[in-house]
Amino acid sequence: MSQSPSAATPSSRRTLLRTALTGAALTAGSWAWDLPSASATPRPNGKPRPATPAAALRELNAGNLRWRTRHERHPHESLAVRREMVSGQHPFAVVLGCIDSRVAPELVFDQGLGDLLTVRSAGEVLDEAVLGSVAYGVLELDIPLVVVLGHQSCGAVSAAVHAEQTGERLPAHIQYIADRIKPAIDHAQEGAARIDATVSAQVRRVRSQLASEPDLAPRIGAGRLAIVGARYELTSQLVHQVD
Ligand SMILES: [Zn+2]
């Protein structure tokens, strides 16, 4: 996380952040397909920030529809927005995605500055830094939705499957990634189908690991947070949910 160029101490920055979020607090038990409340923090386009898991999911779905139908708006990039963002951020979704250059969350969901908190690791692999980054978005920025985003033709998943099949040892830090994808490998499939099935299985696995995190689970139970698994298809540019 980059540090603000200001001389603010961590504690004062934390206070500022909380102050900036006043009005965006979510109501316990608000999990429902309802619209964000009128008190939600306004976004640069004047629309309220999605304040419920369902509203956040709708916003991402709408953005992906624009992307895949070539009706992108590239929102929230203007100079005015850049200036407004100096004073704080109110992202409405965490996207935990792969590092793949073809699956940039802001592009495939057609979102802009201040909309998404993105965390990326090869194959969406979790480690302490990734977990801490997701938790920061949920607990400190009060974000109501986490999307675990896998994708078609994932090189990290391919490498993990290949390494298991051949017994070949990968360079150390890449082997670390492969070792963490390995439990998701779908042995019911062969060849390319195995890789594709493992992409989905890895999404499910990471999603359930996040959902069982002690800091996050109570929010899910209270309806203040949803963690969903999804895949991006390079062929169609569609993001769809992985159940
Ligand atoms: Zn990938």
Interval between CA 199 and ligand 1 midpoint (Å): 8
What pLDDT score was predicted for residue 47?
A: 78
Interval between CA 14 and ligand 1 midpoint (Å): 33
What pLDDT score was predicted for residue 24?
A: 31
On average, the pLDDT of the chain sits at 86
Interval between CA 38 and ligand 1 midpoint (Å): 38
Torsion angles phi and psi, residue 152, rounded to 5: -55, 145
Interval between CA 238 and ligand 1 midpoint (Å): 16
All domains of the chain in start order, with CATH? 1-34 (no CATH), 36-242 (3.40.1050.10)
Tokens at 171, concatenated: 């360079």
Using the Cα atoms of residue 90, residue 93, residue 95 and residue 101 in order, give the sign of their dihedral. Answer: negative
Cβ-contact 52, 144 below 8 angstroms: yes
Tokens at 55, concatenated: 């509203």
Integer Cα distance of 122 and 178 in angstroms: 9
Interval between CA 152 and ligand 1 midpoint (Å): 8
Interval between CA 124 and ligand 1 midpoint (Å): 8
DSSP 6: S
pLDDT digits (tens, 9 = 90+) for 188-207: 999 999 999 999 999 999 99
Cβ-contact 112, 166 below 8 angstroms: no
What pLDDT score was predicted for residue 40?
A: 56
pLDDT digits (tens, 9 = 90+) for 135-156: 999 999 999 999 999 999 999 9
CA distances from 43 to 39, 50, 117, 132 (A): 12, 9, 15, 26
Interval between CA 97 and ligand 1 midpoint (Å): 8
Average pLDDT (164-183) is 97
Residue 51, pLDDT above cutoff 90: yes
CA distances from 28 to 20, 41, 164, 236 (A): 20, 17, 44, 37
Integer Cα distance of 219 and 135 in angstroms: 11
How long a stretch of residues is the chain?
243
Interval between CA 103 and ligand 1 midpoint (Å): 8
Residue 50, pLDDT above cutoff 90: yes
Interval between CA 162 and ligand 1 midpoint (Å): 14
3-state secondary structure (DSSP) of residue 169: coil
Interval between CA 137 and ligand 1 midpoint (Å): 22
